[in-house]
Amino acid sequence: MIRVMSDFEIRTLRTDEHRAASDLFRGSLHVPPSDDADWERAARAYQPGGTIGAFDPDLIGTARSFDAELTVPGGARLPMAGVTGVGVRADRTRRGVLRALMTTQLEDFAARGVVFANLLASEAVIYGRFGYGLAARNRTYGVDRHRARLRPDLPSSGRVELLDVDAAVAELPGVYERIPHRPGMMTRPEVVWRQYENHLRRSTDPVRAVVHHGPDGPDGFATYVVSGLHQHPWTKTLDVGDMFAATPAAFAGLWRFLLGVDLVDRVVAGARAMDEPIELLLADHRQSAVDRIGDDHWVRIVDVPRALAARAYGPGEPVVVEVTDPVLPGNAGRYRVTAGGAERTDAPAALTLDAATLAMAYFGTWRPSALAAAGRIVVRDAAAAEAADTLFATRQPAWSGTYF
Protein backbone atom coordinates (compact mmCIF):
# COMPACT_ATOMS: atom_id res chain seq x y z
CA MET A 1 0.00 0.00 0.00
CA ILE A 2 1.33 3.45 -0.90
CA ARG A 3 -0.23 6.87 -0.38
CA VAL A 4 1.62 9.95 -1.65
CA MET A 5 0.99 13.27 0.12
CA SER A 6 2.57 16.60 -0.84
CA ASP A 7 5.52 16.36 1.59
CA PHE A 8 5.56 12.72 2.67
CA GLU A 9 4.57 9.24 1.59
CA ILE A 10 2.84 6.44 3.47
CA ARG A 11 3.50 2.77 2.92
CA THR A 12 3.34 -0.60 4.66
CA LEU A 13 6.53 -1.39 6.55
CA ARG A 14 8.63 -4.44 5.94
CA THR A 15 9.35 -6.68 8.93
CA ASP A 16 12.92 -5.37 9.09
CA GLU A 17 11.53 -1.85 9.55
CA HIS A 18 9.35 -2.70 12.57
CA ARG A 19 12.07 -1.92 15.09
CA ALA A 20 12.47 1.61 13.76
CA ALA A 21 8.68 2.04 14.02
CA SER A 22 8.76 0.75 17.59
CA ASP A 23 11.59 3.14 18.51
CA LEU A 24 9.70 6.03 16.94
CA PHE A 25 6.50 5.15 18.82
CA ARG A 26 8.34 4.70 22.11
CA GLY A 27 10.14 8.00 21.56
CA SER A 28 6.80 9.74 20.97
CA LEU A 29 5.69 8.42 24.39
CA HIS A 30 9.00 9.58 25.97
CA VAL A 31 10.08 5.97 26.56
CA PRO A 32 13.62 4.79 25.64
CA PRO A 33 14.06 2.44 22.67
CA SER A 34 14.02 -1.33 23.26
CA ASP A 35 17.35 -3.02 23.88
CA ASP A 36 18.17 -6.10 21.80
CA ALA A 37 16.70 -8.62 24.27
CA ASP A 38 13.49 -6.63 24.64
CA TRP A 39 13.13 -6.16 20.90
CA GLU A 40 13.61 -9.87 20.25
CA ARG A 41 10.41 -10.44 22.23
CA ALA A 42 8.59 -7.24 21.21
CA ALA A 43 9.06 -8.03 17.51
CA ARG A 44 6.71 -10.98 17.88
CA ALA A 45 3.85 -8.61 18.75
CA TYR A 46 3.96 -7.16 15.22
CA GLN A 47 1.56 -8.74 12.74
CA PRO A 48 3.40 -9.00 9.40
CA GLY A 49 2.09 -6.31 7.04
CA GLY A 50 0.17 -4.61 9.86
CA THR A 51 2.37 -1.55 10.39
CA ILE A 52 2.43 1.55 8.21
CA GLY A 53 4.92 4.38 8.19
CA ALA A 54 5.15 7.94 6.88
CA PHE A 55 8.45 8.87 5.18
CA ASP A 56 9.85 12.27 4.15
CA PRO A 57 12.24 10.40 3.31
CA ASP A 58 13.00 9.50 6.97
CA LEU A 59 10.45 7.55 8.97
CA ILE A 60 8.45 10.33 10.68
CA GLY A 61 5.24 8.61 11.79
CA THR A 62 3.78 5.17 12.26
CA ALA A 63 0.67 3.18 13.21
CA ARG A 64 0.28 -0.53 13.83
CA SER A 65 -2.71 -2.85 13.69
CA PHE A 66 -3.60 -6.50 14.14
CA ASP A 67 -6.66 -8.58 13.33
CA ALA A 68 -9.04 -9.98 15.94
CA GLU A 69 -12.78 -10.30 16.55
CA LEU A 70 -14.97 -8.05 18.68
CA THR A 71 -18.14 -9.10 20.50
CA VAL A 72 -21.13 -6.81 19.99
CA PRO A 73 -24.36 -6.52 22.01
CA GLY A 74 -26.26 -9.76 21.41
CA GLY A 75 -23.09 -11.85 21.26
CA ALA A 76 -22.07 -11.82 17.58
CA ARG A 77 -18.31 -11.61 16.93
CA LEU A 78 -17.19 -9.46 14.03
CA PRO A 79 -13.82 -8.70 12.43
CA MET A 80 -11.95 -5.91 14.19
CA ALA A 81 -8.56 -4.32 13.86
CA GLY A 82 -6.73 -3.39 17.03
CA VAL A 83 -4.85 -0.13 16.48
CA THR A 84 -1.78 0.72 18.51
CA GLY A 85 1.77 2.00 18.18
CA VAL A 86 0.63 5.38 16.83
CA GLY A 87 3.26 8.08 16.96
CA VAL A 88 4.63 10.99 14.98
CA ARG A 89 8.17 12.31 15.40
CA ALA A 90 8.09 15.39 17.64
CA ASP A 91 9.69 17.59 14.96
CA ARG A 92 7.03 16.63 12.39
CA THR A 93 3.77 16.94 14.38
CA ARG A 94 0.75 19.09 13.43
CA ARG A 95 1.20 18.91 9.70
CA GLY A 96 -1.25 16.15 8.93
CA VAL A 97 0.89 13.02 9.35
CA LEU A 98 -1.50 11.36 11.79
CA ARG A 99 -4.48 12.31 9.64
CA ALA A 100 -2.86 10.62 6.63
CA LEU A 101 -1.93 7.53 8.67
CA MET A 102 -5.44 7.21 10.13
CA THR A 103 -7.17 7.72 6.80
CA THR A 104 -4.92 5.22 5.03
CA GLN A 105 -5.42 2.66 7.79
CA LEU A 106 -9.22 3.05 7.90
CA GLU A 107 -9.54 2.81 4.13
CA ASP A 108 -7.46 -0.36 4.23
CA PHE A 109 -9.67 -1.81 6.99
CA ALA A 110 -12.81 -1.00 4.99
CA ALA A 111 -11.34 -2.63 1.86
CA ARG A 112 -10.47 -5.78 3.86
CA GLY A 113 -13.95 -6.23 5.39
CA VAL A 114 -12.96 -5.14 8.90
CA VAL A 115 -16.07 -3.94 10.76
CA PHE A 116 -14.54 -2.22 13.81
CA ALA A 117 -11.28 -0.52 14.66
CA ASN A 118 -10.45 -0.42 18.32
CA LEU A 119 -7.83 1.48 20.32
CA LEU A 120 -6.78 2.87 23.68
CA ALA A 121 -6.19 6.59 23.38
CA SER A 122 -3.20 8.36 24.96
CA GLU A 123 -5.24 11.57 24.91
CA ALA A 124 -9.00 11.94 24.66
CA VAL A 125 -8.89 14.75 22.09
CA ILE A 126 -7.08 12.89 19.29
CA TYR A 127 -9.28 10.23 17.72
CA GLY A 128 -12.85 11.57 17.66
CA ARG A 129 -12.14 13.48 14.45
CA PHE A 130 -11.43 10.16 12.72
CA GLY A 131 -14.75 8.66 13.87
CA TYR A 132 -13.54 6.85 17.01
CA GLY A 133 -15.95 7.16 19.94
CA LEU A 134 -15.50 6.28 23.60
CA ALA A 135 -17.38 2.99 23.42
CA ALA A 136 -16.81 1.80 26.98
CA ARG A 137 -15.67 3.08 30.34
CA ASN A 138 -14.04 1.23 33.20
CA ARG A 139 -13.32 1.72 36.87
CA THR A 140 -10.25 1.22 38.99
CA TYR A 141 -10.94 0.23 42.56
CA GLY A 142 -8.96 -0.64 45.65
CA VAL A 143 -9.66 -2.93 48.58
CA ASP A 144 -8.19 -2.53 52.09
CA ARG A 145 -6.81 -6.00 52.60
CA HIS A 146 -6.53 -5.78 56.38
CA ARG A 147 -10.14 -4.72 56.91
CA ALA A 148 -11.95 -6.43 54.04
CA ARG A 149 -13.73 -9.71 54.77
CA LEU A 150 -15.47 -11.77 52.15
CA ARG A 151 -19.09 -12.64 52.89
CA PRO A 152 -19.08 -16.11 54.45
CA ASP A 153 -21.89 -17.32 52.16
CA LEU A 154 -19.98 -16.59 48.94
CA PRO A 155 -19.96 -19.37 46.35
CA SER A 156 -16.92 -21.49 46.84
CA SER A 157 -15.72 -24.28 44.66
CA GLY A 158 -12.41 -25.02 43.09
CA ARG A 159 -8.84 -24.13 43.84
CA VAL A 160 -6.29 -21.54 42.83
CA GLU A 161 -2.91 -22.44 41.38
CA LEU A 162 0.06 -20.07 41.32
CA LEU A 163 2.05 -19.97 38.07
CA ASP A 164 5.40 -18.47 37.17
CA VAL A 165 5.71 -16.41 33.99
CA ASP A 166 6.72 -19.34 31.77
CA ALA A 167 3.69 -21.36 32.86
CA ALA A 168 1.42 -18.32 32.60
CA VAL A 169 2.53 -17.66 29.03
CA ALA A 170 1.78 -21.27 28.14
CA GLU A 171 -1.55 -21.66 29.96
CA LEU A 172 -3.41 -18.33 30.05
CA PRO A 173 -4.38 -18.25 26.35
CA GLY A 174 -6.28 -21.53 26.82
CA VAL A 175 -8.07 -20.22 29.91
CA TYR A 176 -9.03 -16.98 28.14
CA GLU A 177 -10.66 -19.06 25.39
CA ARG A 178 -13.05 -20.45 28.01
CA ILE A 179 -14.23 -17.06 29.27
CA PRO A 180 -17.66 -16.00 27.95
CA HIS A 181 -17.51 -12.69 26.08
CA ARG A 182 -19.52 -9.66 27.03
CA PRO A 183 -19.96 -6.82 24.48
CA GLY A 184 -16.65 -5.05 23.99
CA MET A 185 -14.50 -8.14 24.61
CA MET A 186 -12.19 -9.33 21.85
CA THR A 187 -10.45 -12.48 20.81
CA ARG A 188 -6.75 -12.41 21.60
CA PRO A 189 -4.63 -13.36 18.59
CA GLU A 190 -1.09 -14.63 19.00
CA VAL A 191 0.40 -11.14 18.58
CA VAL A 192 -1.59 -9.85 21.58
CA TRP A 193 -0.37 -12.71 23.76
CA ARG A 194 3.19 -12.02 22.63
CA GLN A 195 2.73 -8.40 23.70
CA TYR A 196 1.43 -9.60 27.09
CA GLU A 197 4.35 -11.95 27.42
CA ASN A 198 6.78 -9.13 26.79
CA HIS A 199 4.97 -6.98 29.34
CA LEU A 200 5.20 -9.77 31.93
CA ARG A 201 8.87 -10.43 31.25
CA ARG A 202 9.79 -6.74 31.14
CA SER A 203 8.44 -6.01 34.62
CA THR A 204 11.09 -5.20 37.24
CA ASP A 205 8.74 -6.38 40.02
CA PRO A 206 8.04 -10.12 39.80
CA VAL A 207 4.76 -10.88 38.04
CA ARG A 208 2.62 -13.72 39.33
CA ALA A 209 -0.29 -15.41 37.68
CA VAL A 210 -3.02 -17.51 39.22
CA VAL A 211 -5.50 -19.81 37.54
CA HIS A 212 -8.78 -20.79 39.17
CA HIS A 213 -9.77 -24.41 38.59
CA GLY A 214 -13.51 -25.02 38.91
CA PRO A 215 -15.54 -28.22 38.63
CA ASP A 216 -15.18 -28.19 34.81
CA GLY A 217 -11.54 -27.17 34.59
CA PRO A 218 -9.77 -23.79 34.45
CA ASP A 219 -12.39 -21.03 34.60
CA GLY A 220 -10.58 -17.87 35.62
CA PHE A 221 -7.19 -16.23 35.95
CA ALA A 222 -5.44 -13.15 37.24
CA THR A 223 -1.97 -11.66 36.98
CA TYR A 224 -0.52 -9.38 39.62
CA VAL A 225 2.51 -7.53 40.88
CA VAL A 226 3.26 -6.48 44.45
CA SER A 227 5.03 -3.14 44.77
CA GLY A 228 6.16 -0.85 47.58
CA LEU A 229 8.10 -3.54 49.43
CA HIS A 230 11.23 -1.47 49.82
CA GLN A 231 10.06 2.02 50.59
CA HIS A 232 8.51 3.93 53.47
CA PRO A 233 5.73 4.10 54.58
CA TRP A 234 5.69 0.40 53.73
CA THR A 235 2.29 0.45 52.13
CA LYS A 236 2.47 -2.56 49.93
CA THR A 237 0.09 -2.72 47.03
CA LEU A 238 -0.93 -5.73 45.00
CA ASP A 239 -1.85 -4.50 41.53
CA VAL A 240 -4.08 -6.81 39.56
CA GLY A 241 -3.32 -6.73 35.83
CA ASP A 242 -5.41 -9.11 33.79
CA MET A 243 -8.38 -10.77 35.49
CA PHE A 244 -11.19 -12.84 34.01
CA ALA A 245 -13.67 -15.21 35.62
CA ALA A 246 -16.16 -17.42 33.81
CA THR A 247 -18.36 -18.01 36.86
CA PRO A 248 -19.28 -16.23 40.12
CA ALA A 249 -17.41 -18.97 42.02
CA ALA A 250 -14.26 -18.29 39.98
CA PHE A 251 -14.56 -14.55 40.62
CA ALA A 252 -15.02 -15.14 44.35
CA GLY A 253 -12.20 -17.71 44.36
CA LEU A 254 -9.76 -15.31 42.71
CA TRP A 255 -10.64 -12.57 45.18
CA ARG A 256 -10.36 -14.97 48.11
CA PHE A 257 -6.83 -15.70 46.93
CA LEU A 258 -5.87 -12.05 46.23
CA LEU A 259 -7.08 -10.88 49.64
CA GLY A 260 -5.10 -13.67 51.27
CA VAL A 261 -1.69 -12.81 49.80
CA ASP A 262 0.66 -11.96 52.66
CA LEU A 263 2.63 -8.73 53.12
CA VAL A 264 0.01 -6.73 51.22
CA ASP A 265 -1.95 -3.74 52.55
CA ARG A 266 -4.07 -2.82 49.55
CA VAL A 267 -5.29 -4.67 46.48
CA VAL A 268 -5.92 -2.47 43.44
CA ALA A 269 -7.75 -3.72 40.38
CA GLY A 270 -7.33 -1.42 37.40
CA ALA A 271 -9.63 -0.78 34.45
CA ARG A 272 -12.33 -3.24 35.49
CA ALA A 273 -15.85 -3.57 34.07
CA MET A 274 -18.18 -0.91 35.46
CA ASP A 275 -20.52 -3.52 36.94
CA GLU A 276 -17.92 -5.87 38.43
CA PRO A 277 -19.50 -6.63 41.81
CA ILE A 278 -16.54 -6.32 44.19
CA GLU A 279 -18.65 -4.43 46.76
CA LEU A 280 -21.13 -7.29 46.87
CA LEU A 281 -18.41 -9.79 47.72
CA LEU A 282 -17.45 -7.95 50.90
CA ALA A 283 -19.15 -8.14 54.30
CA ASP A 284 -18.56 -4.37 54.56
CA HIS A 285 -18.83 -2.86 51.09
CA ARG A 286 -17.07 0.33 52.27
CA GLN A 287 -13.77 -1.55 52.40
CA SER A 288 -13.62 -1.18 48.63
CA ALA A 289 -13.52 2.22 46.98
CA VAL A 290 -13.46 3.40 43.40
CA ASP A 291 -10.25 5.31 42.69
CA ARG A 292 -11.30 6.50 39.26
CA ILE A 293 -13.52 5.98 36.25
CA GLY A 294 -11.52 5.95 33.06
CA ASP A 295 -11.67 5.38 29.34
CA ASP A 296 -11.89 1.81 28.18
CA HIS A 297 -11.67 1.22 24.44
CA TRP A 298 -12.42 3.71 21.69
CA VAL A 299 -14.19 2.13 18.74
CA ARG A 300 -14.44 3.24 15.13
CA ILE A 301 -17.31 1.61 13.26
CA VAL A 302 -15.65 0.94 9.90
CA ASP A 303 -18.65 -0.77 8.31
CA VAL A 304 -21.81 0.86 9.67
CA PRO A 305 -24.39 -1.22 7.74
CA ARG A 306 -22.80 -4.48 8.88
CA ALA A 307 -22.30 -3.33 12.46
CA LEU A 308 -25.87 -2.09 12.80
CA ALA A 309 -27.27 -5.30 11.31
CA ALA A 310 -25.18 -7.50 13.62
CA ARG A 311 -26.17 -6.27 17.06
CA ALA A 312 -29.27 -7.19 19.05
CA TYR A 313 -31.70 -4.40 19.99
CA GLY A 314 -34.09 -3.81 22.85
CA PRO A 315 -37.86 -3.63 22.48
CA GLY A 316 -38.31 -0.02 21.25
CA GLU A 317 -40.38 1.60 18.51
CA PRO A 318 -38.45 1.75 15.19
CA VAL A 319 -36.23 4.82 14.70
CA VAL A 320 -34.59 6.19 11.55
CA VAL A 321 -31.08 7.54 12.21
CA GLU A 322 -28.89 9.43 9.78
CA VAL A 323 -25.16 8.79 10.04
CA THR A 324 -22.61 11.33 8.78
CA ASP A 325 -19.10 10.12 8.01
CA PRO A 326 -16.70 12.35 6.04
CA VAL A 327 -13.73 9.98 6.66
CA LEU A 328 -15.47 6.84 5.31
CA PRO A 329 -18.30 8.31 3.21
CA GLY A 330 -19.61 4.86 2.25
CA ASN A 331 -21.19 4.69 5.71
CA ALA A 332 -23.18 7.89 5.34
CA GLY A 333 -26.93 7.56 5.00
CA ARG A 334 -30.10 6.64 6.84
CA TYR A 335 -30.73 3.44 8.74
CA ARG A 336 -33.98 2.11 10.17
CA VAL A 337 -33.28 0.54 13.55
CA THR A 338 -35.94 -1.78 14.96
CA ALA A 339 -36.17 -4.34 17.75
CA GLY A 340 -35.52 -6.99 15.10
CA GLY A 341 -32.47 -5.44 13.36
CA ALA A 342 -31.31 -2.50 11.26
CA GLU A 343 -30.97 -1.73 7.56
CA ARG A 344 -30.61 1.16 5.14
CA THR A 345 -33.74 3.18 4.33
CA ASP A 346 -34.83 6.22 2.34
CA ALA A 347 -37.29 7.30 5.05
CA PRO A 348 -36.69 10.67 6.72
CA ALA A 349 -34.41 10.62 9.76
CA ALA A 350 -35.53 11.47 13.30
CA LEU A 351 -31.96 11.53 14.68
CA THR A 352 -28.67 12.57 13.06
CA LEU A 353 -25.29 11.65 14.48
CA ASP A 354 -21.68 11.19 13.37
CA ALA A 355 -19.71 7.92 13.33
CA ALA A 356 -17.99 8.57 16.67
CA THR A 357 -21.31 9.23 18.41
CA LEU A 358 -22.78 6.11 16.85
CA ALA A 359 -19.96 4.03 18.40
CA MET A 360 -20.72 5.58 21.81
CA ALA A 361 -24.41 4.60 21.52
CA TYR A 362 -23.83 1.27 19.77
CA PHE A 363 -22.19 -0.41 22.76
CA GLY A 364 -24.86 0.88 25.14
CA THR A 365 -22.38 2.98 27.11
CA TRP A 366 -24.09 6.30 26.45
CA ARG A 367 -27.88 6.69 26.14
CA PRO A 368 -28.93 8.40 22.90
CA SER A 369 -30.97 10.94 24.88
CA ALA A 370 -27.87 11.81 26.96
CA LEU A 371 -25.87 12.18 23.72
CA ALA A 372 -28.68 14.42 22.40
CA ALA A 373 -28.63 16.48 25.60
CA ALA A 374 -24.90 17.00 25.05
CA GLY A 375 -25.53 18.16 21.49
CA ARG A 376 -23.98 15.09 19.90
CA ILE A 377 -27.25 13.94 18.31
CA VAL A 378 -29.55 16.26 16.38
CA VAL A 379 -33.11 15.33 17.32
CA ARG A 380 -36.04 16.00 15.00
CA ASP A 381 -38.53 13.94 17.00
CA ALA A 382 -38.24 13.79 20.81
CA ALA A 383 -40.07 10.45 20.99
CA ALA A 384 -37.41 8.96 18.71
CA ALA A 385 -34.62 9.77 21.17
CA GLU A 386 -36.58 7.99 23.88
CA ALA A 387 -37.23 4.99 21.62
CA ALA A 388 -33.53 4.89 20.71
CA ASP A 389 -32.70 4.68 24.43
CA THR A 390 -34.51 1.35 24.73
CA LEU A 391 -33.40 0.05 21.33
CA PHE A 392 -29.69 0.63 22.05
CA ALA A 393 -29.80 -0.34 25.75
CA THR A 394 -27.66 -3.36 26.67
CA ARG A 395 -27.92 -5.91 29.44
CA GLN A 396 -24.28 -5.57 30.53
CA PRO A 397 -21.95 -2.57 30.25
CA ALA A 398 -19.42 -3.03 27.46
CA TRP A 399 -15.85 -3.74 28.59
CA SER A 400 -12.77 -5.07 26.88
CA GLY A 401 -10.31 -6.21 29.55
CA THR A 402 -7.59 -6.50 26.89
CA TYR A 403 -4.95 -3.81 26.73
CA PHE A 404 -2.66 -3.35 23.78
Ligand X SMILES: CC(=O)SCCNC(=O)CCNC(=O)[C@H](O)C(C)(C)COP(=O)(O)OP(=O)(O)OC[C@H]1O[C@@H](n2cnc3c(N)ncnc32)[C@H](O)[C@@H]1OP(=O)(O)O
Residues 127, 141, 244, 313: which is the catalytic one? 127
Residue type, 67: D
Does the annotation flag 9 for ligand binding?
A: no
Query: How far is the CA of 21 from the CAs of 33, 178, 231, 298, in angstroms?
Result: 10, 34, 37, 23
- Closer CB to ligand X, 85 or 401, in the complex: 85
CB of 17 to ligand X, least distance (A): 18
143 is in an annotated binding site: no
The answer to whether the CB of 285 falls within 8 A of the CB of 248 is: no
Q: What's the DSSP call for residue 348?
A: P
Known binding residue 97? Answer is yes
Q: What is the largest CA-CA distance in the chain?
A: 68
Task: Give the residue among 124, 122, 82 at the shortest CA–CA distance from 105.
Answer: 82
Residue 28 or 51: the one with the smaller Cβ distance to ligand X is: 28
Instruction: State the minimum distance, in angstroms, from the CB of residue 54 to ligand X.
Output: 8
The CB-of-209 to ligand X minimum distance in angstroms stands at 26
Q: Which residues contact 151 (CB under 8 A, 6 or more apart)?
A: 281, 282, 283
> Shortest distance, CB of residue 191 to ligand X, whole angstroms?
15
Number of Cα atoms under 13 Å in the Cβ half of residue 230: 1
Pairing of strands 298-301, 137-144: unpaired
- Does the annotation list 94 as a binding residue? yes
Is 66 a catalytic site residue? no
404 is catalytic: yes
With respect to ligand X, which residue has the nearer C-beta, 68 or 210? Answer: 68
Alpha carbons 135 and 96: distance in angstroms, whole number: 25
Q: How far out from the chain centre does Cα 340 lie?
A: 27
Shortest separation between residue 373's beta carbon and ligand X, angstroms: 25
**Are 394 and 183 spatial neighbours (Cβ–Cβ below 8 Å)?**
yes
Residues near ligand X (CB under 6 A) are 28-29, 61, 83-88, 93-99, 119-123, 125-126, 129
- CA–CA dist 78, 67 (Å, integer): 11
Of 136 and 320, nearer to ligand X (C-beta) is 136
Q: For residue 140, count other CB atoms closer than 10 A to its CB.
A: 16
Nearer to ligand X, 212 or 297 (CB): 297
Q: Confirm whether residue 217 is marked as ligand binding.
A: no
- 272: annotated binding-site residue? no
- Closer by beta carbon to ligand X, 139 or else 297: 297
Q: Is 227 annotated as a binding residue?
A: no
**Minimum CB separation from ligand X for residue 303, in Å?**
20
- How buried is 56 (Cβ within 10 angstroms: 0-12 exposed, 13-18 middle, 19+ buried)? middle
Q: Which residues are catalytic?
A: 127, 404
Binding residues for acetyl-CoA: 86-88, 94-99, 122-123
